[in-house]
Amino acid sequence: MVKIKRVYEEYDKKDGYRILIDRLWPRGLSKEKAHIDFWFKEIAPGNSLRKWFGHDPKKWEEFERRYDQEISNNKEFAKLKQLIKEKKSVTLLYAAKDTEHNNAVVLLKFFKE
């Protein structure tokens, strides 16, 4: 079971194995408070894509397409799939304020298909 959650939301034991999937550490959040089991920076959108998108909902469809392409060419994606396969419950954590337009939403689609 894979789900997504904003890293700033309260920790819950039901989250299972918690994986931060952002390239940058969330602002103002200590490692203790974050309860992160693994930080998977390599699966986050590349810097140029992240900066281009800038969390602009108008660019969402193109961001999804470009990020899908990045993921398809990312050797680390197989490691993430394996990690998820090994755990009963996984929560992918992201810091973005927009809960509908972020890299976790794109990744979740991969695991629901």
Locate 77 and state its tokens.
């994606």
- For residue 27, report the phi and psi dihedrals to the nearest 5 degrees: -60, 140
The residue ranges of every structural domain in the chain are 2-112
Locate 75 and state its tokens.
């050797």
Residue ranges of the chain with per-residue pLDDT less than 70: 113
Cα–Cα dist 35/37, whole Å: 7
DSSP state of 60: H
DSSP state of 45: P
